[in-house]
Chains A and B, each alone.
Chain A
Amino acid sequence: MPVNLTPNAIATINDGDVNLKPLVQVLDIKQMGSAQERFRLLVSDSVLTQHAMLGTQLNDRVKTGLVKKGSIIQLIDYICSQVQKRKIIVVLNLETIIPDCEIIGNPKMVSDAPAQNALPNTNSMLLSTVGYNNLSSQSHGSNMHSIRPALSSQSHDGNMQSFRPTSSTQNQGGKMHTFQPALGAQNYGNDVQSFRPTVQPPYQPPPSYRNHGAVMKNEAPARIIPINALNPYQGRWAIKARITAKGDLRRYNNARGDGKVFSFDLLDSDGGEIRVTCFNAVVDRFYDAVEVGKVYLISKGSLKPAQKNFNHLKNDWEIFLEATSTVDLCPEEDGSIPQQQFSFKPISEIESAENNSIFDVIGIVISVNPSVPILRKNGMETQRRILNLKDGSGWTIELTLWGDFCNKEGQKLQEMLFINPDIPEAHAVKDWFDRGGCDVASMSISRDIVQGGPKNEARKTVSQIKHEGLGRSDKPDWATVRASISFIKTDTFCYTACPLMIGDRQCNKKVTRSGNSRWQCDRCNQEFDECDYRYLLQIQIQDHTGLTWVTAFQESGEEILGYPAKELYLLKYESNDTRFADIIRSRLFYQYLFRLKIKEEMYGDEQRVKITIFKADKVSYSSESRYMLDLISKVHAH
Chain B
Amino acid sequence: MDTSKPAIFVNGALLPMHVRKRVRTVIQVVGADRGAIVGKSPDDLQLVVKGSPPSAPLSNFVEVIGIADSEKSIQAEIWTNFGEVFDTHSYNQLCQLANGEYQHLFL
| Chain A residues proximal to chain B, CB less than 8 Å | 621-622, 625-626, 629, 632, 636
Contact = CB atoms under 8 A, between A and B. Distances in A.
A636 B101 contact: yes
Interface string B72-90: 0000000000000001011
A632 to B, nearest CB: 7
B101 A626 contact: no
B93 interface: yes
A632 B97 contact: yes
Contacts of B97: 629, 632
Give the interface size bracket for B toward A: under 10
Closest 8 CB pairs of A and B: A622-B87, A625-B90, A629-B93, A626-B90, A629-B90, A625-B87, A622-B90, A636-B101
Q: Is the interface of A mostly helix, strand, loop or mixed?
A: helix
Contacts of A621: 87
Nearest to B93: A629
12 contacts: A622-B87, A625-B87, A625-B90, A625-B94, A626-B87, A626-B89, A626-B90, A629-B90, A629-B93, A629-B94, A629-B97, A632-B97
A448 B68 CA distance: 47
Contacts of A622: 87, 90
B14 to A, nearest CB: 17
Contacts of B101: 636
A621 B90 CA distance: 10
Contacts of A626: 87, 89-90
Nearest to B100: A636
Contacts of A625: 87, 90, 94
Chain B contact residues, majority secondary structure: helix
Nearest to B97: A632
Contacts of A636: 101
Interface of B: 87, 89-90, 93-94, 97, 101-102
B92 to A, nearest CB: 10
A482 to B, nearest CB: 16
A624 to B, nearest CB: 9
A622 B82 CA distance: 13
A636 B96 CA distance: 13
A632 B96 CA distance: 12
A533 B68 CA distance: 59
Contacts of A629: 90, 93-94, 97
A622 B86 CA distance: 8
A528 B93 CA distance: 59
B95 to A, nearest CB: 12
A636 B105 CA distance: 14
Contacts of B89: 626
Given A626-B90, A629-B90, A629-B93, 13 more contacts: A621-B87, A622-B87, A622-B90, A625-B87, A625-B90, A625-B94, A626-B87, A626-B89, A629-B94, A629-B97, A632-B97, A632-B102, A636-B101
B62 to A, nearest CB: 17
Nearest to B89: A626
B88 to A, nearest CB: 10
B96 to A, nearest CB: 10
B74 to A, nearest CB: 23
A439 B32 CA distance: 40
Contacts of B90: 622, 625-626, 629
B24 to A, nearest CB: 17
Nearest to A636: B101
B86 to A, nearest CB: 8
Contacts of B102: 632
A625 B91 CA distance: 9
B98 to A, nearest CB: 12
A637 to B, nearest CB: 12
A625 B94 CA distance: 9
A629 B94 CA distance: 8
Contacts of B87: 621-622, 625-626
A422 B32 CA distance: 64
Contacts of B93: 629
Nearest to B102: A632
A164 B94 CA distance: 92
A629 B88 CA distance: 13
A632 B94 CA distance: 11
A625 B93 CA distance: 10
A636 B101 CA distance: 9
A151 to B, nearest CB: 78
Nearest to A622: B87
Contacts of B94: 625, 629
A636 B90 CA distance: 17
A629 B92 CA distance: 11
